[in-house]
């Protein structure tokens, strides 16, 4: 696997509502995803040359307070190729989300964990595509049982190369 | 007064999760565990509301409204456990 992108909190893009809060924890920027309601943010990139599927998203996070329970995160891809009939000023075109398995949080709040999601649904991403990545905490999923915020530190995108 | 509706209890769960996060107070309780505790606390308050009212001396019992009696209890508990 090769790292293709690392997305950090400062470069996140946000919807008008239901967005994670950008905080600083010990001066580290984090995106705080609520425990009770789904919140989403995005990152934009251009798919690099030589990129090969399958893609994997590695989410590095820590918990604000929970020391038990699981979290559920999902990642979706919107990939627009040159010549696609996708009207970007009319709406969005994300593929089906890729949901993580129920991931047990670290036993100490503040310890990091890395959660891996295979992006099986990748909107047929190809080198050169204009790409957006959506990251969401599926807080109302029955298997998302950890209380308190999830602090997302980074999202690493790897390909199969 | 009956127990709180489900939606209100859901909101209390969300608020407690946010408060734990803001204070960064570690907890091993899961959301279902915390929700069960909220349900139990609400039921206890409902079951014992008459006993609390009886415990208040006159003329406070007659003169305070129900909301004022609730505020009184909240202030006392907040102060006893120094909850911010």
Q: How far apart are CA A51 and CA A72, in angstroms?
A: 27
Closest Cα in chain B to A150 = B21
Which SS3 state, helix, strand or coil, does residue B42 take? helix
CB spacing of B26 vs A36 below 8 angstroms: no
CB spacing of A68 vs B32 below 8 angstroms: no
* pLDDT, position B2: 82
What Å distances lie between residue A87 and A51, A91, A114, A121, B12, CA to CA? 25, 7, 35, 21, 41
* pLDDT, position B81: 87
CB spacing of A36 vs B13 below 8 angstroms: yes
Helix boundaries (H) for chain A: none
Question: Residue A65 is nearest to which of B10, B14, B24, comparing CB atoms?
Answer: B24
Other Cβ atoms less than 10 A from the Cβ of A19: the count is 17
Residue A9 above 70 pLDDT? yes
Q: Is the ipTM of this complex over 0.90?
A: no
- At a CB cut-off of 8 Å and minimum separation 6, what does A104 contact? A68, A69, A70
Q: What percent of chain B has pLDDT over 70?
A: 99
Interface contact A35, partner B, CB < 8 A: yes
The helix/strand count (H/E) of chain A reads as 0, 12
Kindly state the average pLDDT of the residues A11-29.
96
Interface contact A104, partner B, CB < 8 A: no
Cα of A67 to nearest chain B Cα, Å = 5
Residue A161 above 90 pLDDT? no
Question: Residue B21 is nearest to which of A67, A69, A149, comparing CB atoms?
Answer: A149
A137, containing H or E segment: strand A130-137
Tokens describing residue A123: 């909107």
* pLDDT, position A110: 95
Tokens describing residue A56: 């994997």
Per-residue b or e along A48-62, where b marks 16 or more CB atoms closer than 10 Å to that residue's CB: beebeeebbbbbebb
Residue B84 above 80 pLDDT? no
* pLDDT, position A152: 98
Per-residue b or e along A94-105, where b marks 16 or more CB atoms closer than 10 Å to that residue's CB: bbebbbbeebeb
Give the total residue count for chain A: 161
Q: Taking chain A, what is the end-to-end CA distance rounded to the nearest angstrom?
A: 5
Residue A18 above 90 pLDDT? yes
Tokens describing residue B24: 């960064």
Interface contact B27, partner A, CB < 8 A: yes
Q: What is the pLDDT of residues B28-81, one digit of tens each?
A: 999 999 999 999 999 999 999 999 999 999 999 999 999 999 999 999 999 998
Cis link prior to B33 (omega < 30° from 0)?
no
Residue A25 above 70 pLDDT? yes
* pLDDT, position A44: 97
């Amino acid at each position: 696997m090769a790292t293709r992108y690392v997305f950090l909190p400062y470069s996140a893009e946000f919807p008008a509502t239901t967005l994670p809060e950008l905080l600083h924890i010990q001066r580290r920027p984090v995106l705080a995803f609520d425990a009770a309601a789904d919140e989403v943010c995005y990152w934009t990139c251009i798919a690099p040359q030589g990129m090969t599927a399958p893609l994997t998203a590695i989410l590095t996070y820590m918990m604000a307070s929970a020391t038990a329970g699981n979290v559920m995160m999902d990642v979706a891809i919107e990939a627009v190729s040159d010549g696609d009939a996708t009207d970007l000023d009319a709406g969005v075109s994300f593929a089906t989300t890729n949901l993580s398995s129920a991931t047990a949080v670290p036993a100490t709040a503040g310890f990091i964990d890395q959660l891996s999601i295979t992006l099986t649904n990748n909107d047929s991403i190809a080198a050169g595509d204009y790409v957006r990545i959506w990251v969401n905490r599926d807080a109302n999923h029955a298997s998302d049982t950890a209380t308190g915020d999830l602090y997302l530190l980074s999202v690493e995108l790897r390909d199969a190369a | 007064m009956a127990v709180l509706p489900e939606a209100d209890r859901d909101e209390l769960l969300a608020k407690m999760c946010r408060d734990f996060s803001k204070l960064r107070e570690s907890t091993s309780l899961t959301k279902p565990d915390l929700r069960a505790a909220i349900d139990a606390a609400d039921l206890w308050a409902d079951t014992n509301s008459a006993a609390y009212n009886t415990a208040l001396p006159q003329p406070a019992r007659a003169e305070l409204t129900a909301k004022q009696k609730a505020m009184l209890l909240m202030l006392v508990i907040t102060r006893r456990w120094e909850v911010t």
